[in-house]
Amino acid sequence: MDPSNEFDEFIHFFKIGYYEGGRDKEELIRFLKRYPNGSIHLSAEIIEHLENPSKRYLDGKKNVVKEQLEEEIYEAFIFGPNHFPAFAPDGSLAANTEWNDKSYDVKCYELSKLFPKYTLGTLKKKLSQYKNQ
């Protein structure tokens, strides 16, 4: 493979990780210390950080694993713990009436058993935050 194409591909993959990680200033600095010639390809990102010197994350720190866990919590709240989607004859999602008939507090209590790392209050807060995104 042509070395210049290889470096362009490397820059492309760096940018994907950089943007998924909230555009972390420290990540950009580590990259530039290791590959100083990469600054030519990242001038827009460097300028953004220079214009916002007090921000480490230009988009807010993102944690993909945490986001997936919060999505799982919300889906478990909507569909029920250990719920496997069932489909109606018309192809629509069939309702889990047993779960849907439970109160908000009972559902949250059930989730606290499924996600013991979180307190009941923390689960309610996460559900509210995820719903309001």
Q: Tokens 């490397």 correspond to what residue?
A: 10
Instruction: Extract long-range pairs of 100-104: CB within 8 Å, 24+ residues apart.
Output: none
Ranges 51-55, 105-109, 128-132, most confident: 105-109
Q: How far apart are CA 17 and CA 24, in angstroms?
A: 10
Mean residue pLDDT of the chain comes to 79
Q: Across residues 100-113, what is the average pLDDT? A: 90
Instruction: Indicate whether 117 pLDDT > 80.
Output: yes
Q: Tokens 């591909």 correspond to what residue?
A: 9
Report percent pLDDT > 70 for the chain. Answer: 82
Q: Across residues 29-54, what is the average pLDDT? A: 82
Q: Using alpha carbons, list the distances in angstroms from residue 30 to 16, 33, 41, 86, 87.
A: 15, 5, 15, 48, 49
Q: Which of 15-19, 88-92, 127-131 has the lowest mean pLDDT?
A: 88-92
